[in-house]
Structure 1
Amino acid sequence: MTHTPRTGPVTKEEIYAAAEALRERGTSVTQEAVRTECGNRGSQSTINKHLKAWRVEHEEITSRISREVTPEIELHSLDLIAKISEIFGLKADERCNQLEALNKAEIAKREKELDDACAEADQYHMSLGVAEERITQLSAALAASVAAGDQYLDEAKTLREKIVALEADREVNLLTIQQGQQQIERQKVQNDQALTSVGRLEGVASQLRDQLLEKGKQLTDATRIIGGYEESLMRANEEIACLSVQIRNLAKRHAGLELANTLLLGTRELRLPKPTGHDLVPRG
């Protein structure tokens, strides 16, 4: 049993209990021994004070007991011891007589059992010849059984070898199955990863499809704008051509051929270049 160490100051009761424990064990009751018994607690002055009080009380009890034992009490005690011894002696004699009677009855019983056993042994001896003949028959049957047993052992050995081979095949098959299961698990992981990738690709494709639709719409708008711009450009070129003719006629009339050629070159520089679809596509 494990005791939890006490803490705090040591008490008078603990010092008395430690002194009694040391005295009962036959150990010298000293101040250091008492302090060790108390778990190394308490000051020397406290232990010394209570230990002196304990010694005084212990000496008073011892002296009181020695004074109370008078010669009359001692003689009476011896008489009581003698009477008790006599009673125990009578009881012992009575018990011995009982055991002796029981032993005699037990001996008679065992002698009867021995006589019965001897008679039974004689009967067994008479049937011994029949038993020997039966033993001979059983020995022959045993020899045949041993021969058959050897054959069975050979067959069992062959079966055991087949079982060992089957066990080895089973282990190989189990290993193959485990490897197949691991391969299936890896394939499942790869399939899950592929499905995840397909999902991401579908999202990207959807975004690209939306972008293509938006670009197509922008291209349609740009084509429509280009068509309108080309029509405007054609009309402008036609007007420029008409103006060129008018300018040429005016030049011939007022300034002569040199002035007309100069104005004609100027009108050619005024013609705008034909725009391309790339210039009209909105910048992304």
Structure 2
Amino acid sequence: MAGQVIVVTGAARGVGALLARKLSARGVTLALVGLEPDELKSVAAALHGPAHHWPADVTDHAAMTQVAGEVKDRFGKVDVVVANAGVASGGLFADSDPVAWNRVIEVNLIGSAVTGRAFLPVLMESRGYFLQIASLAALTPAPMLTAYCASKSGVEAFAHSLRAEVGHRGVRVGVGYLSWTDTDMVRGADRDDTFRELRARLPWPSNKTYPLGPAVDRLVAGIERRSAHVYGQGWLRGMQSLRGCLPALIGTVGRREMRRFGDRLDGVRIGLIGAGGEADERARAAAHKGGVTDGIHP
């Protein structure tokens, strides 16, 4: 992959930051996009090769179109775009914060579509590759994660539909699936005792937290092959053949678990989770206070 130019959104931390480091070690030029300027600058400075960062909100079409143009101007081309930016919230839907719930859909689903729309022209020029990061949540529903499951199911469908549209233009589209992986998002969710206990009661192997490094290695390999499906944990591949029966199974098991935890669930109201969620809230608050009308932040 030496010499390729790869854009990674959500690159300030977690999957995005480690993916950038591993790609840079392979001789890739990186364009990093995210909401946290200082963290993005730090990630870019630690990379092995050429890199630049663009603080931007992936839900803002004008901002992302500007970023796409600036990346092309700076590096001359774009070979791969990894739509990784994402947030999560948790808790019972009936008690959920509607602002946080909607923001999960906006960032994960709308943000991915905005990213695709902004970068597709340059990907068509390079006959490049668009990798959409989805989740185990795209393969199976889960109680207490309605917004996240809806958004990740949505991005999976978006990517599959997009693949059919742009394949004849030489652009390949892949979907990356990750189970519970050791990131700020997962650690943030586990701060709630009830949520952590519920997660521990999931059937093996979906009840484990997996190390970040091997999952990202699989993403790098998938990018190199321009794969249609990339599995951060190998067992997720087998979930594809089971997904037809999972809604009924989860419905039965979920009903039992909701009854088991009873009144304890009333106190589980989780807004945007982890450091990434906090960064998103800060950025939106700052933009609102400052009257910012676009999604690019100084």
| TM-score of the pair, normalised by structure 2 | 0.17
Which fold has the larger relative contact order, with Cα–Cα distance below 8 Å and residues 6 or more apart in sequence? Answer: 2
More strand by share: 2
More helix by share: 1
